[in-house]
Amino acid sequence: MTEPRFKRILLKLSGEVLMGQGQFGIDPATCERVAREVKAATEAGFEICMVVGGGNIFRGLAGAAQGFERASADYMGMLATVMNALAMQNTLERLGVDTRVQSAIPMASVSEPYIRRKAMRHMEKGRVVIFAAGTGLPFFTTDTTAALRAAEMNCDALFKGTSVDGVYNADPKKVPTATRYDAVSFDQVLVENLKVMDATAVALCRDNHIPIVVFNIRDEGNLAAVLQGDGISTVVR
Ligand code: UDP
């Protein structure tokens, strides 16, 4: 078996992943399936931290379009990510995985505050650290949070779990002839505006030499497979 390329990774899950087949909110069965993937990866010796989005509950841009002030709407979006983080924590702990939630917006009775060195220590002890409340700043996204935390935590790669199996040259749901890249450069993603993560996140990963691995988190066993270098994915580097 080939030696895995990465040891410590940051797993980014959008809120959309956690809503499963639903149109809104958190689907417990989907949380459990994702949690099993994470558990298998930790048991295989990988160190995992996570950033969860909030789009299944509230997005700042959508709130602003409905008349809320953008910054307030973004804080609402960040609070949505805390709910998702607690859902993932609870599900992981039920499966016997040690976790800690750290929130960028201090919330003493709910989670630890984000403290980088403490998060590092948790990871060294084999705990899965879930970063909640994004960067704590409006006008950012959880994709950018994922890139930032991956850099701060010295991760070898950022794993972006989505509902497609990589990056395509066109939207595979609309264009039947679309083809998937095995690998693509950061610059190509930015210049061609390929749908990977937002531009701020991609630029942050590029500047810090953190590859982005885009893979389908809905396929059972895929996280562990991609970590071992076997599964289907696109690597942005
Ligand atoms: N958000 C923010 N600052 C951050 C991260 C997130 O203001 O650093 C807000 C923003 O309103 C965003 C919402 O939280 O729309 C939910 O995050 P995101 O849209 O990135 O979630 P995802 O698309 O991954 O589910």
Kindly give the distance from the C-alpha atom of residue 133 to the centroid of ligand 1, in angstroms, as a whole number: 8
Kindly give the distance from the C-alpha atom of residue 25 to the centroid of ligand 1, in angstroms, as a whole number: 15
In a domain, 91, yes or no: yes
In a domain, 108, yes or no: yes
Mutate-to-test residue for ligand 1 from 27, 81, 141, 195, highest number of ligand atoms within 8 A of CB: 141
In a domain, 185, yes or no: yes
Q: What predicted TM-score, i.e. pTM, was given to this entire model?
A: 0.96
Q: What is the pLDDT along the chain (237 residues), one digit of tens a residue?
A: 556 789 999 999 999 999 989 899 999 999 999 999 999 999 999 999 999 999 999 999 999 999 999 999 999 999 999 999 999 999 999 999 999 999 999 999 999 999 999 999 999 999 999 999 999 999 999 999 999 999 999 999 999 999 889 999 988 889 999 999 999 999 999 999 998 999 999 999 999 999 999 999 988 889 999 999 888 999 999
* ipTM score assigned to the predicted complex: 0.99
Closest CA to ligand 1's atom 13: 77
Residue list, annotated binding site for ATP: 12-15, 55, 59, 162, 168, 171
In a domain, 1, yes or no: no
In a domain, 3, yes or no: no
Could you tell me the CATH number of the domain that includes residue 51?
A: 3.40.1160.10
Q: How far apart are CA 58 and CA 126, in angstroms?
A: 31
Kindly give the distance from the C-alpha atom of residue 50 to the centroid of ligand 1, in angstroms, as a whole number: 14
The answer, yes or no, to whether any atom of ligand 1 lies below 6 A from the CB of 145, is yes
- Neighbour-count burial for 60-96, b at 16+ CB within 10 Å, e otherwise: beebeeeebeeeebbbbbbbbbbbbbbbbbebbeeee
* Phi, psi (rounded to 5 degrees) for 8: -110, 125
- Asked if residue 197 lies in contact with residue 160, where contact means CB atoms within 8 angstroms, the answer is yes
Question: What atom of ligand 1 comes closest to residue 74's alpha carbon?
Answer: 11
Q: How far apart are CA 113 and CA 106, in angstroms?
A: 5
In a domain, 2, yes or no: no
Torsion, Cα of 68, 71, 73, 79 (10° steps)? -160
Q: Show the domain range for 207.
A: 8-236
The answer, yes or no, to whether any atom of ligand 1 lies below 6 A from the CB of 17, is no
